[in-house]
Amino acid sequence: MTDRQRGVARDVLAANQTFYQAFAARDIAAMEALWATEFPVACIHPGWNVLRGRDLVIASWRSILGSDSSPDVMCGNASAHVLGESAFVICEEQVADDVLIATNVFVREHGAWKLAHHQAAPIAADTLQIVQPEDEDGSVLN
């Protein structure tokens, strides 16, 4: 991987972390700013049907983040996979005692990485010890 590719992957991972920070802070304005406005978006929350379109996706986040029962979510084991002007991150979400697997798809919009798709789902406990490839500095990139 070239230095440029590493830099782009780090930018995508930073955008992914911003998503989870907005979730943790229950910051709907930050969440709304993270989602693409010029590309189609979709979201599949655990146990939900697919939400297609920015209005439905943002409405779902307003509902989740505005609820007193909104779960605390921590992201771990994130790996970025860059595909030109789009990228996806696969990561684990720790929600209380449960671990979910999530895929976050990002697109370049006006020079910034914006979310186009988020999906999270439960995973079997016996598959949690998968080893991720690491970069020299210990960060997981691809």
Of 17, 2, 4, 35, which Cα lies nearest the Cα of 79?
Answer: 17
Give the pTM. Answer: 0.86
Check pLDDT > 90 for residue 36.
yes
The pLDDT mean for the chain works out to: 90
Residue 71 maps to a domain: yes
Residue 133 maps to a domain: no
Domain interval for residue 17: 3-127
Residue 15 maps to a domain: yes
Q: What is the pLDDT of residues 110-142, one digit of tens each?
A: 999 999 999 999 987 666 555 455 554 444 554
Residue 132 maps to a domain: no
- DSSP annotation of 35 reads B
User: Coil, helix or strand for 129?
Assistant: coil
CA distance 107 to 85: 6
Q: What is the pLDDT of residues 69-118, one digit of tens each?
A: 888 999 999 999 999 999 999 999 999 889 999 999 999 999 999 999 99
* Domain tally, the chain: 1
Over residues 24-53, the mean pLDDT reads 97
Model pLDDT, residue 102: 98
